[in-house]
Amino acid sequence: MIEFKEVYFKYPFEDTYALKNINIRISKGECVFIMGSNGAGKTTLIKHINGILKPTKGEVWVNGKNTKNFTVAELSKIVGIVFQNPDHQIFASSVYEEVAFALRNFKFDEKYIENKVNETLKFFSLEKYKEASPLFLSGGEKKRVTIASVVCYEPEILVLDEPTVGLDLKQRKNLVNLINELKKMNKTIIVVTHDIDFAIELANRVIIMNEGEVLKEGSISDIIYDEETLRKANLIQPIIPQVVTKLKLSISSKKIITIEDFLTNLEIILKNVKT
Amino acid sequence: MLRPENFIYRPKDTVIHRLDPRSKFYYAFLMLVLAILTIDFNLLLLLLLFTLFPILLGKILKQVLKAIQSSLFFLALIFIINFIFSLNVILALALVIRFLILIISFLAFSLTTSIDDIALSFYKLRFPYDFVLALTLAYRFIPTLFKDAVNIVDAQRSRGLETQKGNLIKRVKNFMPVIIPLLVVAIRRALNVAEAMESRCFGASKRPTNYYELKIKFGDILLFVASTILFIIVLAEILGLVKIAIV
């Protein structure tokens, strides 16, 4: 479980707080999406989970451990973070070595590393690039390598920062499948994204941030029908909630999130529109 | 910690910001020369007082204090080393003040002068356009590169990298996962910038025109005269022609 208790954070030499009075609790096995405009404090928030940043005030607890008392290396065994820009991570001479990097740092034995890396490369369809330099892969492939290099050591908590950027439709579907698989394994998933459709597909809960504060917390249906919150967070309302809102239906609109929901309720919607 | 943000220009509308970069550079250069020429405590104190005027008029006191705060370690080191070797508090303090003058006069120039103005000054001094542009870009990318370095360190630490563990060779080796991505990102960015510049006709003219011209104004003449007078007085003191007593 992850718990932020009245967390404030200020970068050294900055005058304003990047995080203000953050109180969040994320249970084991939850899939939480953190959304908000640029500079809202999303990345600063996730850097607290594995102790890269320590709170200026307040406490962050991960699986009963106060992050102030543990090193990043110790917390990283529990929390795997995949950062937004793959170029900030990739350095090894081959994709195999890149994926094996964290496993070697955590001192797994070589036989286990070999099996685990091969298994992960297969899952991410990266086997053919096993010996290739990751520096010369395409943007989407690099992204997959970076996700694979964290997923391979099976952290209990997986944090993904803007994972859909640079992925084509097929790779995005693979990512959705991967997250669904991890959810089945009861892993805790935290995703930072601007991609609201991605949240619709996967989120158990959404946290909207604005100017270092939590603006709203709720289910995806609560969020996508809250035009005011979406406007403040600079997020575009998806097309289905837009249509439903414009039609001013008397039925519980919050049940209509996807195109499938819309089609299922089409008869009721049409009846509503006629009356 | 040294943070590039504390050493970088932010636009403001003050009398110092509006001055010509050449007159500000002339002032900063004279202050540097004088601070190096003398070791006299009184003179250095006088120079330190003189460096405060542009800081106050340019409304950059807060930024300067933050920069000094990040240099406190070096200042303490200068004082301790010189005190140990000379056992003279005044001399150790004088050397700290000398270092402060160097920092403050450099900051008075760099914090109030945009890189475009600096580049334009070089351009007006007939430096090649390619050199001027390279200078501008190098300066402009310092904070970006710093940000990249922080992100890379964070990303590698998140995969269990511990840069501070082991002997010296191991520590240097530990930095390879940071240095390689940093170099790759910097080279990629340089190539992207080069392509973007070429797409906008870079190199079509050997001496392109400028958006605006630099002009010497009354304030520049005043700074030039004041700096020169101070230079002459301090030089006369150093040569023993006059005697200044402050403390």
Count interface pairs A-B at CB distance under 8 A: 74
Are both B108 and B9 inside the same structural domain? Answer: yes
| CA distance between the termini of chain B | 34
Is the CB of residue B91 less than 8 Å from the CB of residue B145?
Answer: no
pLDDT greater than 90 at residue A273: no
**B5, B162, B185 member nearest A73 (Cβ):** B162
What is the span of the domain harbouring residue B53?
4-113+216-238
pLDDT greater than 80 at residue B15: yes
Task: Kindly state whether B155 is in contact with chain A, defined as any CB-CB distance less than 8 angstroms.
Answer: yes
Count other Cβ atoms within 10 Å, centred on residue B39: 13
d(CA B128, CA B147): 30
A203 within some domain: yes
Return the pLDDT at A10. 93
For residue A263, give the H/E element and its range: helix A259-264
State percent of chain A over pLDDT 70. Answer: 96
Averaged confidence pLDDT in chain B: 87
Yes or no, beta carbons of A150 and B159 under 8 Å apart: yes
Task: Kindly state whether B184 is in contact with chain A, defined as any CB-CB distance less than 8 angstroms.
Answer: yes
- Summarize the confidence of residues A148-153 as an average pLDDT: 93
Yes or no, beta carbons of A87 and B157 under 8 Å apart: no
Task: Kindly state whether A54 is in contact with chain B, defined as any CB-CB distance less than 8 angstroms.
Answer: no
Residue showing tokens 């919607």: A269
What is the span of the domain harbouring residue A22?
2-221
For residue A9, give the H/E element and its range: strand A2-9
- Summarize the confidence of residues B114-127 as an average pLDDT: 86
d(CA B201, CA A48): 45
Are both B76 and B194 inside the same structural domain? Answer: no
Yes or no, beta carbons of A91 and B155 under 8 Å apart: no
Beta bridge partners of A79: A157
d(CA A153, CA A191): 18
pLDDT greater than 60 at residue A155: yes
Is the CB of residue A69 less than 8 Å from the CB of residue A54?
Answer: no
Sheet holding A57-62, edge to edge: A19-26, A2-9, A57-62, A65-66
- Summarize the confidence of residues A108-112 as an average pLDDT: 93
Provide the pLDDT confidence category of residue A59 given band limits of 50, 70 and 90: very high
d(CA B12, CA B188): 33
Provide the pLDDT confidence category of residue B101 given band limits of 50, 70 and 90: very high
Sort out which chain B residues have CB atoms less than 8 A from A151's CB and list them: none
pLDDT greater than 90 at residue A101: yes
Burial of B51 per CB tally in 10 Å (0-12, 13-18, 19+): buried
Are both A175 and A140 inside the same structural domain? Answer: yes
C-alpha A113 chain-centroid distance? 26
Across chain A, how many H-helices and E-strands are there? 12, 10
Yes or no, beta carbons of A52 and B158 under 8 Å apart: yes
pLDDT greater than 90 at residue A58: yes
Yes or no, beta carbons of A106 and B6 under 8 Å apart: no
Yes or no, beta carbons of A13 and B152 under 8 Å apart: no
Provide the pLDDT confidence category of residue B5 given band limits of 50, 70 and 90: low
d(CA A241, CA A236): 11
Yes or no, beta carbons of A72 and B158 under 8 Å apart: yes
pLDDT greater than 90 at residue B7: no
Are both B36 and B96 inside the same structural domain? Answer: yes
Are both A211 and A242 inside the same structural domain? Answer: no
Return the pLDDT at A132. 94
A130 within some domain: yes
Yes or no, beta carbons of A47 and B154 under 8 Å apart: yes
Task: Kindly state whether A85 is in contact with chain B, defined as any CB-CB distance less than 8 angstroms.
Answer: yes
- Angle between the N-to-C axes of helices A139-151 and A110-123, in degrees from 0 to 180, rounded to the nearest 10: 140
Return the pLDDT at B138. 86
What does the DSSP assignment read for A60-89? EEETTEEGGGS-HHHHHTTEEEE-S-GGGT
**B66, B157, B177 member nearest A13 (Cβ):** B66
Is the CB of residue B142 less than 8 Å from the CB of residue B39?
Answer: no
d(CA B238, CA B33): 12
d(CA B221, CA B27): 11
Task: Kindly state whether B162 is in contact with chain A, defined as any CB-CB distance less than 8 angstroms.
Answer: yes
Task: Kindly state whether A136 is in contact with chain B, defined as any CB-CB distance less than 8 angstroms.
Answer: no
Q: Note the ipTM here.
A: 0.80
pLDDT greater than 80 at residue B109: yes
Return the pLDDT at B2. 52
Count other Cβ atoms within 10 Å, centred on residue A151: 23
- A19-26 and A2-9 as β-strands: parallel, antiparallel, unpaired? antiparallel
Sort out which chain B residues have CB atoms less than 8 A from A106's CB and list them: 160
Provide the pLDDT confidence category of residue B212 given band limits of 50, 70 and 90: confident
Are both B58 and B91 inside the same structural domain? Answer: yes
Number of domains in chain B: 2
Are both B144 and B43 inside the same structural domain? Answer: no
- Summarize the confidence of residues B90-103 as an average pLDDT: 93
Provide the pLDDT confidence category of residue A199 given band limits of 50, 70 and 90: very high
Phi, psi of A215 (to 5 degrees): -85, -45
pLDDT greater than 90 at residue B87: no
Task: Kindly state whether B10 is in contact with chain A, defined as any CB-CB distance less than 8 angstroms.
Answer: no
Return the pLDDT at B102. 92
Sort out which chain B residues have CB atoms less than 8 A from A73's CB and list them: 157, 160-162
C-alpha A60 chain-centroid distance? 18
Question: Regarding predicted confidence, which is higher, A251 or B227?
Answer: B227
| A positions 9-38 inside 8 Å of B (CB) | 12-13
Alpha helices in chain A (DSSP H): 42-46, 72-76, 95-105, 110-123, 139-151, 169-184, 196-202, 220-224, 227-232, 239-247, 259-264, 266-274
pLDDT greater than 90 at residue A251: no
For A257-269, the pLDDT digits (tens) are 888 888 887 777 7
Return the pLDDT at A158. 95
> For residue A214, which of A11, A50, A2, A41 has the smallest C-alpha distance?
A41
Return the pLDDT at A205. 95
Are both B12 and B74 inside the same structural domain? Answer: yes
A11 within some domain: yes
Is the CB of residue B151 less than 8 Å from the CB of residue A90?
Answer: no
Return the pLDDT at A252. 64
Sort out which chain B residues have CB atoms less than 8 A from A102's CB and list them: 159-160
B207 within some domain: no
Q: Would you call B120 helix, strand, or coil by DSSP? A: helix
Q: How many CA atoms lie within 13 A of A182 on its CB side?
A: 31
Task: Kindly state whether B126 is in contact with chain A, defined as any CB-CB distance less than 8 angstroms.
Answer: no
d(CA B127, CA B122): 6
- DSSP conformational letter for B42: H
Are both B37 and B157 inside the same structural domain? Answer: no
- Summarize the confidence of residues A5-12 as an average pLDDT: 92
Residues 6 or more apart whose CB falls under 8 angstroms from that of A142 comprise A86, A87, A90, A134, A166
Question: Regarding predicted confidence, which is higher, A111 or B11?
Answer: A111
Residue showing tokens 């430096």: B127
Return the pLDDT at A269. 75
Residue of chain A nearest B68, judged by CA positions:
A13
Provide the pLDDT confidence category of residue B174 given band limits of 50, 70 and 90: confident
Are both A207 and A247 inside the same structural domain? Answer: no
B158 within some domain: yes
pLDDT greater than 90 at residue A55: yes
Domain harbouring A132, CATH code: 3.40.50.300
Distances (CA, A) of B180 to A35, A93, B191: 31, 10, 17
Averaged confidence pLDDT in chain A: 90
Residues 6 or more apart whose CB falls under 8 angstroms from that of B109 comprise B21, B24, B25, B27, B28
A187 within some domain: yes
Return the pLDDT at A180. 93
Sheet holding A213-218, edge to edge: A79-82, A157-161, A188-192, A31-36, A205-210, A213-218
A227 within some domain: no
